[in-house]
Each structure stands twice: as C-alpha cells, then as structure tokens.
A and B are shown apart, each in its own frame.
Chain A
C-alpha cells in the first residue's frame, strides 16, 4: 500500500518535469518472475532512468531519488546515484541524515539505508558520533534486538568513538530485558574492545559476578550462560578453577523447580575438560539426578542421562555426548 502522499500528481503532469522523456524498462521477451508494478512505481522508475542516463545531478534529480527510494528503498542504484548528486551539490550531510531518519522509520530492515548512513557519518566524522549513537538508541527503543542497528552502532563506536557510556547502556538494556541476547553481545563487545576498559581478563571477575546474578535470577536464560563461557574464551583452565563459576552451577542445581539444562551442560563441559568436582558437587548432582540414573555411575554419564531427561528435544545429542566422553573424565 502506497502511504506516500507526496507524489499524488504523476510526474508526467508536473511542469518541472515537462522537458524529460521517461525511459521505460526493457525487460526483453519472456522475462522471468515479472512483477505487477503499480503505476506510480513504474513511472517514477522511468523518470529515474532518464535522469540517470543523462547523469543529471540537480536538485530536482535529488528530489526524484527521494521519491524512488520511498517506493523502492532496496534499490542500491538509486542510493548510489543519490550519493553522487549529494557530492556534486555539496549538500549538507546533517540534512541528509534527517532524510534517512524519515526513510528508516518505515524501512529499517534495509541494508541500503544503513550503508547510506554510514557513508554520510564517515564524511561528517566525529560530528556525527553522538547523533548516530542517539539514532540507534531510538531504533532500539522500538526494537532492542534490531540487527542492522547493532551493526551500525558497533561501527560508529569503532570508527568514531563514544565508548564512555556504552557499558552503562548495556546494563540499562539488560535491566529492561535480561533475555536480550543483542545486549549481552554488545556487553561482550564493549569489555573486549573498548579502549577505555582494561580488556577481558581485567574485567573478568566483575563480569562473572554480574553474570552470576543474571543467571541465578533466570537460570533458563541461555544468553548469560553463553556470556559466562565467553568470559573464559580459550581459557577453560581458569574457568574450571574459578570458585564463582562452580558455586554458581551448584546453586542452580540445588534450586527447586528451575531449568537445569544450561547448568548441567556447563558442568558437563567442565568435566570433559578435566574438572575434578568436589564431594558437594557430586552429591548435589546425584541428588538431582537420582530419578534419572542409577546411583554410583560416574558423574559425567549421570549428567548426560539427566540431560536426556530434561532436554528431550536434544536427546540424540546428549546420547552422543555420553558415548563420546573422554576416557579419563570423572
């Protein structure tokens, strides 16, 4: 449905375009998957073809690209030509970002818009930083997991800066929705890449505490479990020896009526990497799993059996894990 009331009058009836002959699309004979274009789409693109072939870089050409974009925001040829016009006219790129704001409000899941923003922001440099960060925040207020917006925000931070409040922003988003995987990912991005922080290992302890809290409040939430694992990337040895991690798993396993899938899965991974669990651990795990497996069987096998029980969708996977346990695992 065409909600754009700007071009109610067909181009052929507008005096400012009377000198231009529209160029129809020549699809050739037997085109495949022909589309039933609406009249205004067809006409707008016919006029666009005319100015493109004439390489006309005038204000009216700029306006025409806006109309074409409104009908067809994915057409990268139109965006590309618009950029050429903007450069030729030495247009105000702040104004251009205003234009993109409007287009994005109805087309935000569109790669061309984001590329165009990036092009303009790159030219503006540091002037654009806070504006671009604000713009993505606005997108997140409607959709906190918007993939393009997150990519753009990451690009802005790396190319233009603005890291100061990013960790706090992640915290805010997670307070609003602890299940927001994009916010967890951004948190990881910040702690590993921010030039203002000390890097992963420096941040690790405090991040483990933060994550443990998130996990204990919602043990069924996959995101913080993955994040926790990520804090020990390539360093399973430290993870196995981190008392916070072990006590977290234990806490979850001792809690009644919660999801144990991720806690058990983590325990299994630690065991496979050589964890020597304490008696307390073994007792808690066996107490939990006594319904599912015979007592006295080794811990890893017991954990696998219980996972088959609490995560039946992946029963074949847990069976396979059980059959491929390293020889020396407890």
Chain B
C-alpha cells in the first residue's frame, strides 16, 4: 500500500482519502458549527437544542469540550425551559420541559413574560444531555415540573406524544421519556410497564423494531426500543446467554436481524435492501453493544466504510463522498467511539452521551 508523498495535492475526485480518524479536523468542524451554522440549517431552527447537543456532546466525545464556555451554554439552555406560573398548572395537561429554540417560545411584548408552552420531549432530552455534558448535575433545572408533567404525554397504548398540543406518537418519544427519567434519576413521570408493552408491540416479525406497531423494522427505531428497555431495567447483562423464554422480546431474532444490517461495503443499513449510511453504525451498532454482541460485527470493514464518509472538511456525511452534516458527524464520532478509537471518550450507548458524564464524574 503506497502513501502519497508529503505535500502532494489530494485527488479532487475522492474528498476523503484519509486512512485514519481525523480528530483534529472534526474538532475544527464542530467548533465552526458551534460558532455559526450555515443558512441551510435554518429549516432545523425549531430543533436548535438538538443541533447544540450534537455540537457540544460531539466535542465532548472528541475530548474537546473544555474549549467551550460552559456557563454561557448552561444559561442559554436554561432560558429555554418552560415554567408553569404556579404549581396548580402542573395538572393542566401541559408538558413543562424545554423548547428547542425561541421559535417555539414566545415572549409577550409588553411585560416580557414567556407565553405559550411549546416545549418538546426531544428538546428536553437534548437539554438535559447538554447540561450533564458540561458538568452540571441538573439541580439547576426545574426537574419537578418536568417529572410531574411528563405523564401528560403518555398515551393509553403506552407510547408518548412529544408535545401536548398534538403530534405523532412513536418509539422515538418513548426513548426520550425514558432517557429523561433516567438522567433525572426518577421514574415517577412515566408508567414503565405500559411503555414496555408498547415497545414489545413494535417488534416486527423479522426481529427488528418499527417506529409504531406494524411498521417496518428500522435501525433507528430498534435503537429506541432496545435503549429504552435497557434504561427502564427490562434488559439485563449477559442477555445472549439467557434462554429465549426469559426475555420479553425475541432476542435471537433481534440479534440475527441486527447483525445482518452490516452490508457488503462494511457499513450498516437501516433496513434490509437499503443503502448503507453512517448513522446506522451508531443506531444498530449501539443495539449490538447493548445486547453484548458488538464483537460479532466486522470492525475492520465498518471502519473502512466510515472513513469513506469522513469529509476532508471535518465531520461525516450520510453516504460516501458527500458533504458532511452535523447529524451524521455526531453519529460518526459516536460510531468511532464504539469502535474504541483511541483518544475518544467512551459512550454510554443508551443515553447517547459520554460515559463519564452519564455516571456524573
């Protein structure tokens, strides 16, 4: 295998010729994004907290979060929390969590009071994850309001709606609720048994999980299902050696389905007969790690695939040779952490944040 001579210009037809994980360039990419996101991201304004989570948590995984102003981050995140005017309102059916950005948070012009509660489950998860990542123990948040109002979002079938004013309900929000409860160390905000039943109903005939009962099994949905069960305490360690009857989900079928998601090019796909994509190295790889089966994948082939999605500008793209985006970058870094790339923080898979952050060190 020949190396290009130092100083030679890179081949313009293959933007990512790196043979190794280019940590410094990724840090640079995230710092640029953190400072200012290009206008193409304005369509994601409503979820700015999620973008912030990708940037902050991404820098933490890359061991570069100390370059950020933590107090500024904390105060911005806290400014997005919805607060009930009084305690009685906690029973008014609304969810009092975090907004994704000012665009769902409206300030009455005259008196400066925030009106209208558009807080969202996913934003709440991201807010707590960011706060933990920058070293906050969450005592600064109004966790009582979150926990007391969380149950208003749980549906009769066990699933969760993300906002009280009405939206789709599916496994993504079961995951958010479980992760929020786990981070706050308090399960009073959700009925775990009901949530578990919903998750079980989402396991498809092929072993993977769909976003809703009956829908096609999908890598992202499968992560939400398995991570939620793990967080809620329904999956024990050493799962693979347990007999089939002792588990609430069909583990052997799930295992076989998940492993088969690694395709010929070494990357992971989200569904059978679909193209491979960077992010599934985290979603499906994460499932396998939780099951204790990560050693069954072909790590060399995966790494090789991921490097074809590594951009010369830093970050990762969805597919080989494309431009990077923040979402695929974060999951690319997380996937490399799963691969135990030297110099990266290990991740607590089921929470999507670095391990030392999860346990509060």
Co-complex (A, B): yes
Question: Is B233 in contact with chain A by the CB < 8 A criterion?
Answer: no
Task: Return the contact of A76 from the options B35, B43, B167, B205 (Cβ within 8 A).
Answer: B167
Question: If A32-B52, A36-B39 touch, does A72 touch B45 (CB 8 Å cutoff)?
Answer: yes
Chain A residues closer than 8 Å to B247, beta-carbon distance: none
Question: Is A317 in contact with chain B by the CB < 8 A criterion?
Answer: yes
Cβ of A80 and Cβ of B165 under 8 Å apart?
yes
CB interface residues, B 1-60, toward A, < 8 Å: 33-39, 41-48, 51-52, 55-56
Cβ of B51 and Cβ of A37 under 8 Å apart?
no
Give A26-42 as 1s and 0s: 1 = Cβ < 8 Å from B's Cβ atoms.
11111111111110010
Question: If A35-B41, A115-B168 touch, does A74 touch B47 (CB 8 Å cutoff)?
Answer: yes
- B271 (CB) vs chain A CBs: closest residue: A181
Cβ of A316 and Cβ of B43 under 8 Å apart?
no
Chain B residues closer than 8 Å to A41, beta-carbon distance: 39, 42
Question: Is A140 in contact with chain B by the CB < 8 A criterion?
Answer: no
Chain B residues closer than 8 Å to A150, beta-carbon distance: 215-216
Cβ of A32 and Cβ of B167 under 8 Å apart?
no
Cβ of B45 and Cβ of A32 under 8 Å apart?
no
Chain A residues closer than 8 Å to B42, beta-carbon distance: 35-38, 41, 71-72
Question: Is B75 in contact with chain A by the CB < 8 A criterion?
Answer: yes
Chain B residues closer than 8 Å to A26, beta-carbon distance: 102, 107
Cβ of A226 and Cβ of B272 under 8 Å apart?
yes
CB interface residues, A 37-83, toward B, < 8 Å: 37-38, 41, 45, 49, 52-53, 71-77, 80
Give B96-124 as 1s and 0s: 1 = Cβ < 8 Å from A's Cβ atoms.
00000011101111000001101010000
Chain A residues closer than 8 Å to B205, beta-carbon distance: 188, 226-227, 229-230, 233
Chain B residues closer than 8 Å to A210, beta-carbon distance: none
- CA A118 – CA B38 in complex, angstroms? 32
Question: Is B69 in contact with chain A by the CB < 8 A criterion?
Answer: yes
Task: Return the contact of B43 from the options A52, A71, A118, A145 (Cβ within 8 A).
Answer: A71
Question: Is A287 in contact with chain B by the CB < 8 A criterion?
Answer: no
Cβ of A36 and Cβ of B37 under 8 Å apart?
yes
| A-contacting 9-mer, from B180-188, B257-265, B327-335 | B257-265
Task: Return the contact of B39 from the options A35, A53, A114 (Cβ within 8 A).
Answer: A35
Give A5-31 as 1s and 0s: 1 = Cβ < 8 Å from B's Cβ atoms.
000000000000000000101111111
Cβ of B217 and Cβ of A32 under 8 Å apart?
no
| A-contacting 9-mer, from B189-197, B206-214, B338-346 | B206-214
Cβ of A316 and Cβ of B295 under 8 Å apart?
yes
Question: Is A179 in contact with chain B by the CB < 8 A criterion?
Answer: yes
- CA A20 – CA B40 in complex, angstroms? 28
Question: Is B85 in contact with chain A by the CB < 8 A criterion?
Answer: no
Tell me, rounded to whole Å, the shortest Cβ–Cβ distance linking A283 to chain B: 27
Cβ of B215 and Cβ of A154 under 8 Å apart?
yes
Question: Is A129 in contact with chain B by the CB < 8 A criterion?
Answer: no
Chain B residues closer than 8 Å to A180, beta-carbon distance: 273
Chain B residues closer than 8 Å to A112, beta-carbon distance: 167
- CA A34 – CA B48 in complex, angstroms? 8
- CA A286 – CA B51 in complex, angstroms? 55
- CA A145 – CA B215 in complex, angstroms? 12
Give B160-191 as 1s and 0s: 1 = Cβ < 8 Å from A's Cβ atoms.
00010111100000000000000000000000
The B interface, classified by DSSP as helix, strand, loop or mixed, is: mixed
Give A131-164 as 1s and 0s: 1 = Cβ < 8 Å from B's Cβ atoms.
0000000000000010100110010000000000
Task: Return the contact of A45 from the options B41, B77, B103 (Cβ within 8 A).
Answer: B103
Question: Is B301 in contact with chain A by the CB < 8 A criterion?
Answer: yes
Interface size for A (C-beta < 8 A) is 65
Task: Return the contact of A36 from the options B36, B212, B262, B296 (Cβ within 8 A).
Answer: B36
Cβ of A31 and Cβ of B76 under 8 Å apart?
yes
Cβ of A32 and Cβ of B76 under 8 Å apart?
yes
Cβ of A181 and Cβ of B69 under 8 Å apart?
no
Cβ of A181 and Cβ of B37 under 8 Å apart?
no
Chain B residues closer than 8 Å to A31, beta-carbon distance: 76
Chain A residues closer than 8 Å to B297, beta-carbon distance: 313-314, 316
Task: Return the contact of A114 from the options B168, B260, B274 (Cβ within 8 A).
Answer: B168
Question: Is A289 in contact with chain B by the CB < 8 A criterion?
Answer: no
- CA A229 – CA B104 in complex, angstroms? 46
CB interface residues, B 197-240, toward A, < 8 Å: 204-207, 210-212, 214-218
Give A214-236 as 1s and 0s: 1 = Cβ < 8 Å from B's Cβ atoms.
00000001110011011001000
- A83 (CB) vs chain B CBs: closest residue: B166
- CA A25 – CA B102 in complex, angstroms? 7
Cβ of B55 and Cβ of A32 under 8 Å apart?
yes
Chain B residues closer than 8 Å to A36, beta-carbon distance: 36-39, 42
Cβ of A53 and Cβ of B215 under 8 Å apart?
no
Question: Is A193 in contact with chain B by the CB < 8 A criterion?
Answer: yes
- CA A111 – CA B41 in complex, angstroms? 17
- B102 (CB) vs chain A CBs: closest residue: A25
Cβ of B272 and Cβ of A320 under 8 Å apart?
no
Question: Is A119 in contact with chain B by the CB < 8 A criterion?
Answer: yes
Cβ of B115 and Cβ of A53 under 8 Å apart?
yes
Give B109-152 as 1s and 0s: 1 = Cβ < 8 Å from A's Cβ atoms.
10000011010100000000000000000000000000000000
Question: If A33-B33, A33-B37, A222-B260 touch, does A316 touch B296 (CB 8 Å cutoff)?
Answer: yes
Question: Is A182 in contact with chain B by the CB < 8 A criterion?
Answer: yes
Question: If A71-B43, A185-B204 touch, does A76 touch B118 (CB 8 Å cutoff)?
Answer: yes
Cβ of A49 and Cβ of B106 under 8 Å apart?
yes
Cβ of A145 and Cβ of B271 under 8 Å apart?
yes
Please name 8 further chain A to chain B contacts, defined as beta carbons within 8 Å, in addition to the given A179-B273, A313-B301, sorted by A numbering. Answer: A32-B52, A34-B37, A35-B39, A45-B103, A75-B45, A115-B166, A154-B215, A313-B264
Name A residues whose Cβ lies closer than 8 Å to a Cβ of B.
23, 25-38, 41, 45, 49, 52-53, 71-77, 80, 111-112, 114-115, 118-119, 145, 147, 150-151, 154, 179-182, 185-186, 188-189, 193, 221-223, 226-227, 229-230, 233, 265, 312-317, 320, 324
19 example contacts (A-B, Cβ-Cβ < 8 A) are as follows: A28-B75, A30-B75, A32-B55, A34-B36, A36-B38, A52-B106, A53-B106, A53-B109, A72-B46, A72-B103, A74-B46, A145-B274, A186-B216, A193-B214, A229-B253, A230-B204, A314-B262, A316-B295, A317-B293
